[in-house]
A and B are shown apart, each in its own frame.
Chain A
Amino acid sequence: MVAGHNEIVKGYETLPDEELWARARSHDGDAFGELFERHADAVYNHCFRRTGSWSVAEDLTSVVFLETWRQRQQVAFHGESFLPWLLAVANNAIRNTNRSIRRYGRLLAKLPNPVAIPDQSEEAIGRIDDERAMRGVLDAFNQLSVLDQEVLSLCDWAGLSYEEAAAALDVPPGTVRSRLFRARARLREVLTAGAQDESEAPETPKGRES
């Protein structure tokens, strides 16, 4: 039985997302598990880049998949990958992070504590550095409009194509293209202005951490 089970699960690795989703819709937990395995890291990193917190990103990753399952009647595929849909769900969850996490609080409480690794490990220190760096980027990023934020994070940070991002955001691909150029320029402008302010600001002993 175990060998047979492994064989089936191994077979899932070769199936396209659409087929896995069809099986998941028929309550095949292993198929959904395989979709999670495939896209969890992409969702995790997307959530981190939008929130600046690895622990929040861990919770949101579970929330995205649970929410996708809850709204399974609405799921639509655009192209072969399930990722655009997942990132669209992620964007909704990020917009209401606290509410999203609260909704699944009971299930999240059953999971291991986020980032349960030794405090002084290289990994832990690296994650703290990541969060500090990401917060710096988000200070500028959050000055963009919501749509610009979503276009830029989906295309430039998560690597979706214009068509995939358009499907995720439910806007025409042309809008994604024009928004992306504008968002890049705007972000560059904000970051440059921020850098100039910092270089012009008088040095104080309690200046902002770099």
Chain B
Amino acid sequence: MIVQLPPSRSLPTNRRYAARRQLEETVGTKKASPRRRRLILLVAIALIVASAVAGIALLRTAPVTDKRTARCYTLAKLGSDKTFSGTTIGVAGPPGSVAQVDDAISSCSDLWRQGFLVPGASGIQRPKPDTSNPVPPLIACTLVDGRAGIFPGDSNTCATLGLPLAGQ
């Protein structure tokens, strides 16, 4: 018994034309491969995250505008305008000049190392002879009046105190 199949037919003209056009457009459009799309997506996400982190860091950073004096704190605590745990430092310059505290962290470190600063104490202390004086980790924040405030602490300390990190 021979199987009788219906005769072959052509794809209807309107459908043929539209399907061909659609295929030509699909093929003619360059799309990134799935692997490449994934890579682009990952890079985009990384850029967004990096921008967000940089933006937040930028927002949390403020320049030191007043370098005539700086404050070396002995506690990660602000205190009041006049009473605080620590001391104010300045740099001596030629007579008549206004010297600047360019590296407040370094200056405060020296005071800690020499024993002039003691944790929690206000003002300058008398150093004990023949004792080693540890320097705690210090971080520079910008105080509300534009001066640098050097606190014992880490990169989160400024934010905890409601202050921006000291920028350039």
Say if the beta carbon of A3 comes within 8 Å of chain B: no
How many A-B residue contacts, CB cutoff 8 Å?
Answer: 101
B22 touches A62 (CB 8 A): yes
| Contacting pair B5 A157 (CB below 8 A) | yes
Closest residue of chain A to B3 (Cβ to Cβ) is A137
Interface size of B by Cβ–Cβ distance < 8 Å? 27
Q: Are B15 and A111 in contact (CB under 8 A)?
A: yes
Count of residues in A whose CB is under 8 Å from the partner chain: 45
Instruction: Give the shortest distance, in Å, between A11 (CB) and chain B (any CB).
Output: 16
Encoded as 1 (CB less than 8 Å from any B CB) or 0, chain A from 4 to 44 comes to 00000000000000000000100111111100110011001
Interface string of A144-183 (1 = CB under 8 A from B): 0000000000001100000000000000000000000000
* Contact A117 B5, beta carbon cutoff 8 Å: no
Complex CA–CA separation, A131 to B6 (angstroms): 8
29 interchain pairs, CB-CB under 8 A: A24-B27, A28-B27, A29-B23, A29-B28, A32-B23, A33-B27, A37-B20, A41-B11, A48-B6, A48-B9, A49-B5, A61-B11, A65-B19, A65-B23, A66-B26, A69-B26, A69-B27, A110-B22, A111-B22, A112-B14, A112-B15, A116-B12, A117-B12, A127-B9, A129-B6, A130-B6, A130-B7, A137-B5, A187-B3
